[in-house]
Structure 1
Amino acid sequence: MNPYQAPEDGVSGTGGAGGGRRPWLVAGVAVGVLTLVGALVATGRLPGGTDDGGDRLAEQAADARWAEGVTPEWMSEQMGLDIPVTARSPRAAYEVTSRFDTGLLTFTLTRVEAEAYLKEHPPEGDWLEPTSAQTDVPPHDFAHFGLPEPETLKDGMRYGVVCPGAAEAALDPHAPGVDTSDASCVRLYAHAYTPTRTRIYLRDHYEPGISPLPTPPSSTPTG
């Protein structure tokens, strides 16, 4: 049993800026294309039931690229979750593939600030604690920032699926244009990595080709 299996892995929603959310991937925790390949191979859930599926996914991984110009503010807007002004070391990335895109956001807070943030952004259900650390997660997503993947951590870890749009819709479910079934949902991990600080990890998946991506900073021509 996957110790990080979320209770609402079937939740899906619509992404910002014209991008659409995919349903949560159920082969363990989908951490980018390489992790998806590893999870599918490990569970035997290869497309078509043959080992050839792993080769096809590996070929799709070859076209993966990290988008340029992605800022924590932009990624925060796509996810619908704020970055507290007291947050330290905010980092963001967006990986584009032909299969699905992955948005990443991370920052640190004091333990008190983190508790307030988690209370402000409650999960679907309860916050969960992993029964064990996953040892078969290839470093890919948060390794882009030089960080361990959150699924490989156990002590001091809580996680859940946060749907920021659901809380707003619940305030007035009968309001025109409100669709409570279409709330955007993000996987959130909170790791108390020291006695005084907590790191927030946020991960979301999108239909490929979210538009528009940030405009990369232009290089200054030299004389």
Structure 2
Amino acid sequence: MRSAGGGRRARLAAGSAVGVLTLAAALVATGRLPHGTDDGGDRLAEQAADARWVEGVTPGWMSEQMGLDIPVTARSPRAAYEVTSRFDTGLLTFTLTSKEAKAYLEAHPPEGDWLEPTSAAETDVTPHDFAHFGLPEPETLKDGMRYGVVCPGAAEAALDPHASDLYGSPDESCVSLYAHAYTPTRTRIYLRDHYEPGISPLPTPPSSTPTG
């Protein structure tokens, strides 16, 4: 996927991400389900030895990598980036009012339709990604949940035949988006994307100020 950092995102197996099974229907419907799905438990076992969370990751930096903005009215924006030998995972989350969330989803439409869970929530999903923030994994949520695959730049490419030179194909620029209306008035946005190992440059960890 092409990103602000120079286009190092990989087209990764959908099953490689924890909980990505809830997005399988959307990926199949849009023809974006890559080959080589595997079990989330295997993914965790293989990455346990070399996984690390990068220090100094900010919501602004993660927003740039994903190509999706954070509204100025957003509350509690949080971001993280995990490095492994197989692929990296970028996470971004924030909350909006119901009205703001509606506008945000309209501004960032999915490939296909917004989907809703059609069965019980996936209670067997191993906490890993958004658990880093102390949040439940979006796949385990059912009531008030919508999700889809959002491809930044796809709308511009559809309007401008030369836009593909700037954004690449939609296949290369898609982010998993979950919108959870956790109260009648507020919605939490979850964003997850995957990258080839070694995306560069990574943020520089904040340095401690020497004391006296």
* TM-score (normalizing by structure 1): 0.80
The alignment-based identity, stated in percent, is: 81
Structure 1: unaligned runs, 5 residues or longer: 1-12, 33-38, 43-53
The 8 Å contact of residues 164 and 183 in structure 1, kept in 2 or not, is answered as: no
1:69 aligns with 2:56: yes
1:172 aligns with 2:167: no
| Distance (whole Å) between structure 2 residues aligned to residue 137 and residue 193 of structure 1 | 19
1:18 aligns with 2:17: no
Secondary structure at the residue paired with 2:65? helix
Instruction: Find 2:194's aligned residue among 181, 205, 211.
Output: 205
The 8 Å contact of residues 70 and 94 in structure 1, kept in 2 or not, is answered as: yes
- Aligned twin of 2:209: 220
Secondary structure at the residue paired with 1:164? coil
1:94 aligns with 2:81: yes
Larger Rg: 1
Q: Deviations over 1:157-188 (max 9, x none)?
A: 00000001211212202458244345411000
Secondary structure at the residue paired with 2:55? coil
Corresponding residue pairs, total:
192
Match runs of 1:44-193 below 5 Å: 54=42, 58-131=45-118, 132-174=120-162, 177-178=165-166, 179-181=168-170, 183-193=172-182
1:40 aligns with 2:29: no
Q: CA 1:21/1:117 → structure 2, altered by over 3 Å: closer, same or farther?
A: same
Shift of 1:30: 1.1
Shift of 1:25: 2.5
Secondary structure at the residue paired with 1:99? coil
| Distance (whole Å) between structure 2 residues aligned to residue 219 and residue 186 of structure 1 | 34
| Distance (whole Å) between structure 2 residues aligned to residue 66 and residue 175 of structure 1 | 34
The 8 Å contact of residues 79 and 92 in structure 2, kept in 1 or not, is answered as: yes
* TM-score (normalizing by structure 2): 0.83
| Distance (whole Å) between structure 2 residues aligned to residue 91 and residue 80 of structure 1 | 16
Structure 2: unaligned runs, 5 residues or longer: 20-37
Secondary structure at the residue paired with 1:189? strand
